[in-house]
Amino acid sequence: MKLLIVEDEPSLREIMARTLRGEGYVVEQASDYTSAVDKLAGYSYDCILLDIMLPGGDGLQLLKELKENDRRESVIIISAKDSLEDKVAGLELGADDYLAKPFHLMELSARIRSVARRSMVGGRKGFTLGNVYLDPESSRVEIDGCDVALLKKEFAILAYFMQRPGHLVDKTVLAEAVWGDHVDQADNFHFLYAQVKNLRRKLEDAGANIELKAVYGFGYKLVFPEDN
């Protein structure tokens, strides 16, 4: 899952990001209203952790704009303003959950997992495409019922594409989705090409009837062989 933390308090934002990255999430950060708007204008996320009180704007207004634009991101409001009115206002605007400060990081992780489960179509625990099953909660992949061992980034790439079958994904968008803010540290896309190459080989060796197809000069898309 790719998360966006919108929080103006640097130490809290950093410890949240460090903890969630340690649990396998791709995490990006925004410290104020304007930077959050910029992030959301360029990228999509699975879940947004949104403070209400932000420099330069109101978190509830940002939430309202997300829902008016039919954005699909789940939103968990995280705020020191824990009055009933604020909680009701956020939930009525479309937030998926509300967590008042101070909170334990274990509770934050549990709330994210809960929101992720609720957002899956039909309450499914994982994703199935062809003979491939992927469970994002346990980081497990099965092909024809047999476990397939993937490295962390290989799993993240496969999870991204299994939620977007048949979609042509630009390599820059894919790198940003999987590596988050740290993608700027890379001088080229060799790190991405290597991960995708290994993932494609593992899928083929395990007999997957889906394929990550390279589209020259652009990126990749996940297809069934008959769609090639």
Domain end among 67, 86, 119: 119
Q: What is the pLDDT of residues 49-90, one digit of tens each?
A: 999 889 999 889 999 998 888 777 889 998 876 667 777 888
Q: Are residues 94 and 133 in the same domain?
A: no
Domain end among 97, 119, 141: 119
Q: Are residues 78 and 150 in the same domain?
A: no
Q: What is the pLDDT of residues 1-20, one digit of tens each?
A: 789 999 999 999 999 999 99
Q: Are residues 161 and 179 in the same domain?
A: yes
Q: How many domains does the chain have?
A: 2
What is the CATH number for 6?
3.40.50.2300
Q: Are residues 29 and 133 in the same domain?
A: no
What is the CATH number for 172?
1.10.10.10
Q: Are residues 37 and 137 in the same domain?
A: no
Q: Are residues 90 and 131 in the same domain?
A: no
Q: Are residues 109 and 167 in the same domain?
A: no
Strands 26-30 and 2-6: parallel
Count of other CB atoms within 10 angstroms of residue 116: 17
Q: Are residues 113 and 133 in the same domain?
A: no
Q: Are residues 107 and 166 in the same domain?
A: no
Strands 127-129 and 74-79: unpaired
Q: pLDDT-derived band of residue 187, with 50, 70 and 90 as boundaries?
A: low
The pLDDT of residue 123: 47
Q: Are residues 107 and 182 in the same domain?
A: no
* Cβ–Cβ under 8 Å, residues 3 and 48: yes
